[in-house]
């Protein structure tokens, strides 16, 4: 039996588009951006072989790592909306959410994960500059990519 994620109801251990919406109204470009950010976090973590080994030694398997990527990306939604509304000047990538998700991994691994999340954020936002989809500026518009089977595993 495949475990379910208690937080979003989707299958744990996978980063799929359905983890970023619960109904058709939530198939927005902003939620698509968050999906892509989760994938980018995963890509940067996997690229760091030593970090992956350290996470495994700390009891974090691949599925849990992917669940973290989804969780952290979703956590950033309010931060992004606050910046767009002018309530804050810059989006802040914080360590607190990493510590909440992984209370057992210690400060060194939290710092390493935050560094990787920062790299993923930079990469993702650099891609946005040239992407014609305009996920941030058209954040409330429907993202047809959620319905495209090519994006599903």
Asked whether residue 1 carries a pLDDT value surpassing 50, the answer given is no
Average pLDDT of the segment spanning 106-123: 96
Task: List beta partners, residue 28.
Answer: 142
Judged against a pLDDT cut of 60, whether residue 10 lies above it is answered with no
Using 50, 70 and 90 to split pLDDT, how confident is the model at 41? very high
- Looking from the CA of 112 toward its CB, the CA atoms found within 13 Å total 18
Sign of CA dihedral 79, 28, 145, 10: positive
Rounded Cα distance, 146 and 101, in Å:
26
pLDDT at 115: 97
Position 149 scores a pLDDT of 84
> What does the pLDDT read at residue 119?
97
Confidence category of residue 55, pLDDT binned at 50, 70, 90: very high
Query: Is the pLDDT assigned to residue 59 strictly greater than 90?
Result: yes
pLDDT band at 8 (very low <50, low <70, confident <90, very high): very low
pTM for the model: 0.89
Structure tokens at 68: 């973290």
User: Does residue 147 have a pLDDT over 70?
Assistant: yes
């Amino acid at each position: 039996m495949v475990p379910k994620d208690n937080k979003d109801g989707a299958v744990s251990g996978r980063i799929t588009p359905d983890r970023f919406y619960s109904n058709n109204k939530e198939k927005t470009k902003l939620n698509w951006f968050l999906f892509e950010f989760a994938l980018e976090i995963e890509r940067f973590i996997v690229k760091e072989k030593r970090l992956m080994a350290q996470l495994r030694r700390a009891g974090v398997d691949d599925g849990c790592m992917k669940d973290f990527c989804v969780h952290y990306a979703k956590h950033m939604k309010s931060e992004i909306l606050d910046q767009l509304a002018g309530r804050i000047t810059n989006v802040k990538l914080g360590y607190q959410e990493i510590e909440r998700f992984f209370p057992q991994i210690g400060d060194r691994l939290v710092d390493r994960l935050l560094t990787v999340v920062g790299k993923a954020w930079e990469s993702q936002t650099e891609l946005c500059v040239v992407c014609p989809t305009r996920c941030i500026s058209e954040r409330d518009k429907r993202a047809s990519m959620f319905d495209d089977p090519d994006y599903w595993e």
